[in-house]
Amino acid sequence: MSLKVKDLMRIMEEYAPLNYKEDFDNVGLMVGDEESEVTSILVSLDCTMDVVEEGKEKGCNFILTHHPLLFLKPKTITKSTLQGRKIIELIKNDINLYSSHTNLDSTKDGINDLITKLLDFDSWEVIDEKPYEEKVGIGRMVTLSSLVTLEDLCNKVKSALNIPTLKYSGGENTIIKKVAIINGSGNDFLFKAKELGADCIITGDTTYHYVSDLNEEGVCVIDIGHFESEWPGMQLVGVWLQNKLKLMGYDNRVYISEKSFSPYKYK
C-alpha cells in the first residue's frame, strides 16, 4: 500500500493537531509535496545538514523533526545562509520535511507526557492547559506520592533520561512534594509553575536571573538541557509512528536519527 506525504500529515495531525501549537510557532509541512509517495522516514529533533545527509544515505524522502526549520519566514532562499542551503538541499533531493513542535509538546501522549512517564510519574495536571481541550497544553505538574530530596530527584532524572550531568539550584536536602516538568525552554512557564505550588521545576534552557529569583523564593530548578528534555520523547514518537504505520498496513520503515545531537559538550 502506497504511503503519501498527505497520509503522514493526516496521521501526525490526528496525534498532534495543528491548533494545539503556541501562537508564536510554525508547524506542519515545511518543505515538500503532499502528493509525493514516501519511501522511508527519518525522525530527528532538528533538521541539521548532517540529518539531511543521513536521510539521503538511508533513502528517506521524509524527515520528521520536532523543531521547525522555518520558524520565521525567510526573505530569501539562497546558499548564502545555512537555512537556505538546507532548503535547497531538501528540494534538490526530493526530501519532504515536516515539523511537529509545540503541538506535539501539548498533545496527549506527546513530548510533555512522554518525558513525565519516562521519569516514572503516572499522574499529573497540565500547567498551561488549552481552553478547549482537557489534559492538553504546555507543562505537567506532578504531586509526589512520597516526599523526596532534591538530590534524590536529580539522581532519578539522570538515571531515567540517561543524562551524565545536569545543572540544578537549591539545597540538596530540600524536600520536594510537587514537581513541574516543562520540556524544551521552560522560561515562559517558570513562574506559573511556582504559582501552582511547584517545589522543583525540571526543564531546559533556563537563564541566570530567572533561576536566581526562584532560588531566593525557595523553588528548586533542575536544568537538564533543551536537547536532553526532548530527544528521549521524540525517539518514542518515532517508535509510535512505526507501530502506527504497521497497524495501518504500511511497510515504510521509520529510522531514528543517529545524527541528532546536542550542540553542547561537557567536561
What is the pLDDT at residue 74? 87
Residue 187 CB neighbours (<10 A):
15
Beta strands in 32-153 (DSSP E): 40-44, 60-65, 96-99, 125-129, 137-149
Q: Compute the distance between CA of residue 155 and CA of residue 174 in angstroms, rounded to an integer.
A: 14
Do the domain assignments include residue 261? no
**Cα–Cα nearest to 28, from 7, 8, 9, 55:** 9
What pLDDT, on the 0 to 100 scale, is given for residue 72? Answer: 82
Domain check: are 155 and 88 in the same one? no
Amino acid at residue number 175: I
- CATH number assigned to the domain comprising residue 247: 3.40.1390.30
Query: Is residue 264 situated within a structural domain?
Result: no
Q: Are residues 102 and 188 in contact, defined by beta-carbon separation less than 8 angstroms? A: no
How many domains does the chain divide into?
Answer: 2
Q: Are residues 58 and 143 in the same domain?
A: no
Both 114 and 98 in one domain: the answer is: no
pLDDT tens-place string over residues 205-236:
999 999 999 999 999 999 999 999 999 999 99
Report the pLDDT value the prediction gives residue 134, as an integer from 0 to 100. 87
> 262 in a domain, yes or no?
no
Task: Give kind and range of the element (H or E) at residue 179.
Answer: strand 175-185
Give the integer Cα–Cα distance in Å for 248 and 245. Answer: 5
Dump pLDDT digits (tens) for 113-126.
999 999 999 999 99
Can you tell me the distance from the alpha carbon of 95 to that of 33, in angstroms, rounded to the nearest whole number?
9
- Structural domain boundaries enclosing 74: 5-102+230-256
pTM: predicted TM-score of the whole model, two decimal places: 0.96
Per-residue confidence of the chain (267 residues) as pLDDT tens digits?
799 999 999 999 999 999 999 999 999 999 999 999 999 999 999 999 999 999 999 999 999 999 999 988 888 999 999 999 999 999 999 999 999 999 999 999 999 999 999 999 999 999 999 988 889 999 999 999 999 999 999 999 999 999 999 999 999 999 999 999 999 999 999 999 999 999 999 999 999 999 999 999 999 999 999 999 999 999 999 999 999 999 999 999 999 999 999 999 888
